[in-house]
Amino acid sequence: MNKFISMKRFLLVIPSIDIRDGKTVRVIQGIPELGCKEYGSDPVEMAKIWRAENAKMLHVVDFDGALEHSRKNFQLVEKICSSVIIPVQFAGGIRTLEDADLIMETGISRLVVSTIAIENSNDFKKLFEKYGSAKIAVSLDVLDNQLIIRGRQIKTGISCTSFAKTMSEIGVDRFIVTDVKRNGMLGGPNLPLCEQIIEVTNAKITLSGGIRNKDELMDIQNLMHTGIDSVIVGRALYENRFPCQKLWRLAESGIFN
């Protein structure tokens, strides 16, 4: 008799490595003017640490790129990609097609963009046509229901849901959703915001911002059927809010309920 094994999907926990001036930092609400704390001088070593802790993917944010449209960290990103055997997702400061081509050459697995999609839709369409939905995701940085761009410095007045719907119609099928007020504040995730985006797009969602403990990850695990399949976690991991080794080992062994 043939036996069929049901494979349960588990929430992907993605550690964030935020880079500024070549160092690993955590930035309050992702806005450096509000405060910036160093968590180590070498982002490459931090990538190796998270890989040793059994991370399956990394999220790298280039704050120098986002704030200054600088490419000075591209070589560092390439070192991160070559130092670990897991996918590396990148965000920060990609304003042009040339920026995108150069960062893709570093070996990243997925590029997350925001500003170019809002300010230059023609170039974004070219970028999306070239690399496709598997390689391109769109970041929705939300403040009071409107999108903010350029390193979270400019309010656009654009509704996050209407913009997400437009991107979905182009073919985008993954959004990185961040409630900026909760980012780095350990105030809990904004699940209703994610649900709003899912309702108008039916896309896959990576939730970013606010995660503070294991229980909240379990709550999101139970919502995976809605489309939230991954979370980006920063401060809670760096401040040991939960034992990440135990967490990922539980996920791998199928112990999650």
Q: What percent of the chain has pLDDT over 90?
A: 61
- Between these two residues, 213 and 254, which has the higher pLDDT value? 213
Asked if the 12-253 domain carries CATH number 3.20.20.70, the reply is yes
Pairing assessment for the beta strands 136-143 and 58-62 based on DSSP bridges:
unpaired
Categorize the per-residue pLDDT at 4 as very low, low, confident or very high, splitting at 50, 70 and 90: very low
CA-based nearest residue to 106, from 44, 165, 154: 44
Q: Tens of pLDDT along 139-148?
A: 999 988 899 9
Do residues 218 and 238 lie in contact, with contact meaning Cβ atoms separated by under 8 Å?
no
Q: Please list the active-site residues.
A: 18, 141
pLDDT value of residue 111: 98
- The backbone torsions φ and ψ at residue 116, rounded to the nearest 5 degrees and listed phi first, read -60, -35
The full set of domain ranges for the chain reads 12-253
pLDDT value of residue 196: 95
